[in-house]
């Protein structure tokens, strides 16, 4: 079945969140900080912060709100006090200006000639659009957390994206650097592409090969574009 649309995980798959957050944390909080460790600690609170929403214990709240809450916890964990609201806001917005992995922007432009493209991420619309404009990407729509008012890997996110673009699920390719995301997408009939991101977590590495069966396994997004004939 020909792939007609690609939907993308964003953090880790398209952008290097760890390097970006580390640099911004050092800039905003002071050079004494070990930015990489700060970024890791902040990201470690990401999945737990989504869980009360996935289970329905908490109404949907966007990632800026969740990032702001977990930032306070990470600052306390690092023993950093006296950070004013403006600096905290600047840190939360650091997630809006992350740089793409080097090959991503060119590869997306090539893919867009023959496919419909959208982020399918937990990022809210404003964050996804900010990253797109920061990195020069053009998408056809924005799916994900705010579109479906829930968080991956809940079924609604995958199903709503497939329904909205309107191609068969098997013609809709979920692109991610995380096997769990791809397993969830596959369970709803989507085709899947794994992108190796061996440096996503810095010294702790990242997924170099998929841990689940996938339709495509790629070394980076340019490799996926080549495999799709773009």
Residues that bind its own copies (CB under 8 A): 116, 124-126, 128-129, 132-133, 138-142, 146-147, 164-166
Q: Which residue, 161 or 186, is less far from its own copies as judged by CB?
A: 161
CA dist 14 and 69 (Å) reads: 24
Tell me the backbone φ, ψ of residue 144, rounded to 5 degrees: 120, -150
Closest distance between its own copies and the C-beta of residue 93, in Å? 11
Closest distance between its own copies and the C-beta of residue 141, in Å? 4
**DSSP H stretches of helix in 78-154:** 85-94, 104-112, 125-135, 145-148
Closest distance between its own copies and the C-beta of residue 144, in Å? 11
Closest distance between its own copies and the C-beta of residue 129, in Å? 5
DSSP states of 37-70 as a string?
HHHHHHHHTHHHHHHHHHTTSS----HHHHHHHH
Closest distance between its own copies and the C-beta of residue 165, in Å? 6
Q: Which residue, 149 or 188, is less far from its own copies as judged by CB?
A: 149
Q: Which residue, 38 or 139, is less far from its own copies as judged by CB?
A: 139
Q: Which residue, 8 or 147, is less far from its own copies as judged by CB?
A: 147
Q: Which residue, 99 or 160, is less far from its own copies as judged by CB?
A: 160
Tokens standing for residue 121: 């991420």
Listed residue (169, 160, 172, 224) closest to 197, CA to CA: 224
């Amino acid at each position: 079945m020909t792939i007609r649309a690609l939907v993308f995980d964003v953090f880790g798959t398209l952008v290097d969140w760890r390097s970006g957050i580390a640099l911004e944390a050092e800039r905003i909080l002071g050079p004494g900080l070990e930015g990489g460790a700060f970024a890791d600690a902040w990201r470690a609170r990401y999945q737990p912060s989504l869980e009360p929403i996935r289970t329905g214990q908490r109404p949907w709240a966007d990632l800026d709100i969740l990032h702001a809450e977990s930032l306070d916890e990470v600052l306390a964990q690092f023993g950093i006090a006296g950070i004013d609201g403006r600096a905290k806001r600047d840190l939360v917005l650091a997630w809006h200006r992350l740089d793409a992995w080097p090959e991503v922007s060119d590869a997306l432009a090539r893919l867009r000639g023959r496919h419909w493209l959208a982020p399918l991420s937990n990022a809210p619309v404003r964050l996804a659009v900010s990253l797109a404009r920061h990195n020069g990407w053009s998408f056809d729509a924005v799916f994900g957390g705010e579109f479906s008012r829930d968080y991956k890997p809940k079924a609604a996110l995958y199903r709503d994206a497939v329904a909205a673009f309107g191609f068969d699920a098997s013609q809709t390719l979920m692109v991610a650097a995380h096997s769990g995301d791809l397993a969830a997408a596959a369970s709803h009939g989507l085709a899947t592409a794994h992108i190796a991101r061996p440096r996503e977590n810095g010294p702790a590495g990242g997924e170099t090969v998929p841990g689940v069966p996938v339709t495509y396994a790629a070394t980076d997004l340019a490799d996926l574009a080549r495999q799709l004939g773009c």
